[in-house]
Chains A and B, each alone.
Chain A
Amino acid sequence: MSELSFADHLALWVGAALTFMIFSFLYKDNPFYKFAEHLFVGVSAAYWMVVGFWTTLIPNGIGKVFPEMVSIFLPNLSDTTPNYYFLIPIILGIMMLTRLFGSIGWISRWPMAIIIGFSAGTNLTRYLQSDFIHQVHSSSVPLVVLENGSFAWMATFSNVVLVFGVIAALLYFFFSLEHKGIIGGASKFGIWILMITFGAAFGYTVMARISLLLGRFEFLQKWLQSFLV
């Protein structure tokens, strides 16, 4: 692996050392694991902050109001006409920072209220449309499916499971009637549907975790090859 530069080698060694530090937790908790964990949290927080500053605050905030000020970093924006409406979000952003000062911390409630109001307003309509109306529509399927004039067994079975599975799972959470007789039987079927769903979710979670382990092992293989091959 002679094509690797010194920086590449350094990155591989640091990455491998941190991977082993994290893996060491599988044996037992130790200071090396703690160090790697804290480093990860710190670096992640700093990364999001720096990227947010340079990709949003500078070009979409300060750059819109004072293009000349940011021209040293983004020369292409120097010809842009200032748009003073963007002072409003900048002021709201500054108001949010007052949380850091106890006595005037209450000022931050105003931008917070705007964020919550905006999010609630937009999310309510979107969730209602996508997760309720569209889902009701998607669950309303024919119980008998005919394809090219002949009975389609699999599609029919799939639709029957979908329709009765949704009804049974909903009945399980319906507490206005005692779960006895037909309602009791249906809600028991609902529990089975829920358990199968949780089982599928668990299976997928196992697959995801093994995939991540594979990623780390692949990295360690690359690291080993960098000095063994």
Chain B
Amino acid sequence: MKFDTTFWMKLSQIDRRWIFLVIAITVALPMVLGIDFTAVPAPMVEKVFQTIQRLPAGSKVLISYDYGPSTVPENQPMADALVFHLLSKDCKVYMMAVWATGERQSQYTIDHIVKPSFPNKEYGVDYIDLGFKAGGTGLINMLFTSVKRMYTTDRTGNDIQSFPMMSDIETLKNFDMILSISSGAPGLKEWIQFAGDRGNIPVAGGVTAVQATELFPYYPRQMFGLMAGLQGAAEYESLVIHMYPKFFQHRSALRKMAPQTVAHLAIIAFVIIGNIAYFMTRKK
């Protein structure tokens, strides 16, 4: 018994760097071995997919890149899968950002998804990148008055009036759907509050896992669907791959599900061991 207590005592005082090392190994090993996991779509993710699936060709969809490089592993797969899906459905895609760092991320989607997978889609006709404007919720408010007064040029500085797909866009109400990929404020929550609820425009999107619990109360009445964290992104990728197998080469979140799962199991084990150690040492 004495040995047991000493053991648990030592375990409860273990140097936290051993825990970091174990997590590093559990994350690295499945990556090196190239283990692939599948993801079963949750109803909230399925709802996003099915709603886009029902959109008629030519529908105008605004997608806002409200994140930066720091959350790319979670957010970029969501944005890439959504844009791939929208262009496969022949929707008109309008990209913008309420975060300055979002501009580079929309450029990534254009370079890595749009150009290689849809060589026949034309910039300014089928998709456009409006870029970033400062203002956050003030910007969203202004877009209800006039999109073109805020966006006088596209991201690269070309006159906004010169693009055919902008001819019938006056305010936010001209969009059939708004999607926000976000990692904080302003983000999806602000798009719901300041655009969806105000203009009765369908809003959905994807958020980092940290933000997810904050967004759940808006589903399903104020937000028709949600991708929560890497898991949500992987679920959407699996849906897109099922419908459009060509997207398989672009999967990014699905590749990370194996190390994610193994790391979670390690953390659960740590929590259980930590609790046992706590109760065993408290007994003494």
Q: Point out residues on A near B: beta carbons under 8 Å.
A: 26-27, 47-48, 51-52, 55-56, 59-60, 63-64, 73-74, 76-77, 80, 118-119, 122-123, 126-127, 129-131, 134-135, 137-138, 197, 200-201, 204-208, 210-215, 217-218, 221
Contact = CB atoms under 8 A, between A and B. Distances in A.
Contact of A204 (B20, B155, B209, B221): B209
A138 B72 contact: no
Q: What does DSSP make chain B's interface, helix, strand, loop or mixed?
A: helix
Among all A-B residue pairs, the 3 with the closest Cβ atoms: A215-B73, A76-B159, A208-B209
A218 B264 contact: no
B171 interface: no
Contacts of A137: 221
A74 B73 CA distance: 34
Nearest to A201: B213
19 contacts: A55-B131, A55-B132, A55-B134, A55-B155, A64-B152, A76-B153, A77-B153, A77-B159, A126-B198, A129-B193, A131-B193, A205-B209, A206-B267, A207-B231, A211-B74, A211-B230, A212-B74, A214-B260, A217-B27
Given A204-B209, A213-B27, 9 more contacts: A55-B100, A77-B152, A131-B193, A204-B229, A207-B260, A210-B27, A211-B74, A213-B263, A214-B27
A45 B266 CA distance: 37
B256 interface: yes
A35 to B, nearest CB: 18
B182 interface: no
A212 B27 contact: no
Q: What does DSSP make chain A's interface, helix, strand, loop or mixed?
A: helix
Contacts of A47: 100-101
Contacts of B194: 122, 126
Contact of B209 (A27, A207, A214, A217): A207
B260 A60 contact: no
B71 A212 contact: yes
B101 A210 contact: no
